[in-house]
Amino acid sequence: MAEDMDKLYSERLERYITANRNEKPDRVPIRPFAAEFTSKYAGFTSQEVTHDFEKAFEAVRKCAKDFSWDATVVNMIYVWSGLVDHFGQKYYKIPGIELDPNVGFQYFEPADEEGAFMKEDEYDELIDSPTEFLTNVWMPRISNNIVAPGQPNTYRNNMAWLKGGLSLMAYGGAIGGANEKLKSECGTVSCISGPIKAPFDILADKLRGFRQVSLDVYRQPDKVQKACEALMPYLYMNAKVASDPSKQVPVSVWLHRGTMFSKDMYERFFWPTLKEIIIKLWKEDGIQTIWYAEGNWDKWLKYTAQLPEKSIIYHSDKGDIFEVHKQVGEKFAISGGIPNDLLAFGTPQEVREYCKKVIQTVGKDGGYLMDASAIIQSDAKIENMRAMTEATLEYGVY
């Protein structure tokens, strides 16, 4: 039995790597990025898998086994409430605490200048020393427990750093075992090895907030540009350190704010630093990146096409996957493109037909990986997820 599972894993790993390299495997790999769908299918509430990461791992394994997934994320419900609670983080809302037990965790970014975790006059501090700024200024602001340097120390501050650090070690340490179980029990590949973000997205998501940074690009553009440049080496190193030593499994970049800006803004603030990270990972380290284009990034395809051949796997969300294939399909593998609303509200036959169309168009020569357009949550119908698997197994064989 163990030998059979090892053989299945080897076949799936080869299929996954071949498709990622924009080549033709034996068939289209099934590689879903599934979050709360896994908990629903396994019979858990969102609260349970957010509070207990072992249940989250178990839910993924059940789906991987039952739906014949070639590769998947070992836990797409990445916010563990133990870690959030110990640090006292303010920007996550957790099911069963602030939210209904059956609602997935939510992220709340700063809504105005008063609530911003980085103030408009603090760019120089960030630019001079990102690590020092994040530790001494940002952490106390995003936490209910941590106090800033120079303020009276508290028991809660000491315990936040202690328990938060231990929690981070506990969760990080558990990932390795979860990956091994995914392999040994399901024959499924853990499909990403580490996350990165665009430097501009760090500013917009976690530091200034989107409303505030939208003013900053006009009021102090030089500071915004320099901040992105200052953050770049840290984000690159984060990806490199967390990457797969064998360089078989890609890292992932979750793209957020770049699609919301003008051409001039994109060219100045978003594209240059992200482009440099992706190119450096590929040319110097041989590490591919899943270019997870959340939203519609079609208008930026000519820029994405500047990246080195095979350096990314382009994931299509709200964009036109057929246009993506037309413009960059010769250079890069493509994944996704099966609409989430179709999985939630369509019929199994409609799902089968759409998957068939994508496979026979985008995946006709290889280099395509089956997945939904965006992260699969609890609104996806179980019968439609089965239909996606069945269509891939029927129409995706080369």
Q: Is the pLDDT of residue 1 over 70?
A: no
Q: Are strands 106-107 and 92-93 parallel, antiparallel or unpaired?
A: antiparallel
Residue 387 lies in a domain: no
Task: State the pLDDT at residue 79.
Answer: 87
Specify the range with the lowest mean pLDDT, choosing from 81-85, 276-280, 314-318: 81-85
pLDDT in tens, 116-147: 999 999 999 999 999 999 999 999 999 999 99
CA–CA dist 373, 108 (Å, integer): 23
Written as six digits, the tokens of 196 are 């990165």
Length of the chain: 398
- Give residue 86's domain range: 32-190
Do 251 and 300 lie in a common domain? yes
Tell me what percent of the residues of the chain surpass a pLDDT of 70.
99
| Domain-terminating residue out of 336, 362, 393 | 336
35 in Cβ contact with 376 (< 8 Å): yes
CA–CA dist 196, 202 (Å, integer): 10
CA–CA dist 296, 338 (Å, integer): 14
Q: Please, how many CA atoms are within 13 Å of residue 29, restricted to the half-sphere of its CB? A: 34
| Domain-terminating residue out of 159, 190, 221 | 190
CA–CA dist 49, 220 (Å, integer): 42
Element (H, E) at 341: helix 340-345
What is the value of pTM for the model shown? Answer: 0.96
Q: What is the average per-residue pLDDT within 173-181? A: 94
Residue 9 lies in a domain: no
Q: Who contacts 214 (Cβ-Cβ below 8 Å, separation ≥6)?
A: none
Q: CA dist 182 to 73, 228, 290, 373, Å?
A: 10, 37, 20, 23
CA–CA dist 324, 44 (Å, integer): 36
Q: Is the pLDDT of residue 2 over 80?
A: no
CA–CA dist 378, 34 (Å, integer): 9
| Domain-terminating residue out of 162, 190, 218 | 190
Q: If you average pLDDT over every residue of the chain, what do you get?
A: 95
Number of H helices, E strands in the chain: 19, 10
Do 185 and 296 lie in a common domain? no
Do 52 and 140 lie in a common domain? yes
Q: Are strands 312-316 and 195-196 parallel, antiparallel or unpaired?
A: unpaired
pLDDT in tens, 332-361: 999 999 999 999 999 999 999 999 999 999
pLDDT in tens, 153-171: 999 999 999 999 999 899 9
